[in-house]
Amino acid sequence: MRRSFPLQLSLVSLATVLVAVACTTVPDTGRRQFNPLAPNEEAKLGLTEFEKMKQSKPISRNAAYNDQVQRVGQQLARVMPVPNAQWEFVVFEDNSPNAFALPGGKVGVHTGLFQITQSDTGLAAVIGHEVAHVVARHSGERMAQAALSTGVAAVASEVLRRNSEMGTGGQVASTAAIGGAALLHVQRFSRNQELEADQLGALYMARAGYDPRESVALWKRFAAWRQTSGNVSKTPAFLSTHPVDEVRIAELERFMPRALSEYRG
């Protein structure tokens, strides 16, 4: 029967089905979001992707860097609510000041980042922010928004067909996983997602015993570094995906009283 529905109606049905099985709440900010992928599916994708990266990118053996990343990472891991986490913190040999986190608790830090972070607290600001994107499940949310707004008819009808045959939300998750790796390579988060990650990152810092005010200083150093690095083409991926501007810094400062209320430094 459904097959004969007009496309628009099918998409409405798809949206209804997806929202019913995939509406979740972001911890701490309380924002309701729509996310089609189950947390365990996300974690599996993150794990696979991280293994690939470890095989293709040189891993740093610098003892000071590795000690710092393990120390800060483990301290933050105690307070960051990542579902199905199998925490792993790896330093990659790469001069660009960059870091990333994948679902399942996989975190990579480039050797080039340490010139900007400068201390445990600075590093905690970056890791807290990156893991916040994972906690708030921003990549999946981005992917879902893109898929729904462009109305991928083929995927939509396939999801509906499977869903009506199987009658389970799990099928929706598996279908979403087909787009798998794409999820982990979101080119750019939305502005609101960046602000949310800044806020969550500051909370995690505070809860783990790091002064959250250092996050503001960290982003200012990043902005300054970009100014002095001159050549626009040298702007690292991190800054093109994390644009730092006055509004963003002001928003983080405005949030600071709440973060500081949880800081027992």
> What is the contact surface with Zn ion in residues (CB under 5 A)?
194, 197, 242
Q: Which is nearer to Zn ion, 72 or 197 (CB)?
A: 197
Nearest distance, CB of residue 132 and Zn ion, angstroms: 8
Contact between residue 105 and residue 82 where contact means Cβ atoms under 8 Å apart: yes
Q: For Zn ion, give the closer residue by CB, 41 or 194.
A: 194
The token pair at 16 is: 């209804």
List Cβ<8 Å contacts ≥24 apart for 67-73: 68/114, 68/120, 68/123, 69/107, 69/109, 69/123, 71/120, 72/120, 72/123, 72/124, 72/127, 73/107, 73/127
Nearer to Zn ion, 68 or 193 (CB): 193
- By beta-carbon proximity to Zn ion, the closer residue of 114 and 219 is 219
- CB of residue 154 vs Zn ion: minimum separation in angstroms? 32
Q: Which is nearer to Zn ion, 141 or 194 (CB)?
A: 194
Of 106 and 242, nearer to Zn ion (C-beta) is 242
Beta-ladder partners of 24: 33
CA distance 14 to 148: 9
Smallest distance from the beta carbon of 45 to Zn ion, in angstroms? Answer: 19
What's the number of CA atoms in the CB half-sphere (13 Å) around residue 207?
16
Specify whether the CB–CB gap between 84 and 43 falls below 8 A.
Answer: yes
Q: How far is the CB of 194 from Zn ion (least distance, A)?
A: 5
Residue of 204, 220, 217 lying closest to 263 (CA atoms): 204
Q: How many residues does the chain have?
A: 265
- The residue (of 47 and 197) whose beta carbon lies closer to Zn ion is 197
Q: How far is the CB of 11 from Zn ion (least distance, A)?
A: 30
Is the alpha carbon torsion for 77, 80, 86, 89 positive or negative?
negative
Tell me if 65 sits within 8 A of 91, measured CB to CB.
Answer: yes
CB of 99 to Zn ion, least distance (A): 10
For the bound state, the minimum distance from the C-beta of residue 72 to Zn ion, rounded and expressed in Å, comes to 18
What number of CA atoms fall less than 13 Å from residue 8's CA on the CB side?
0
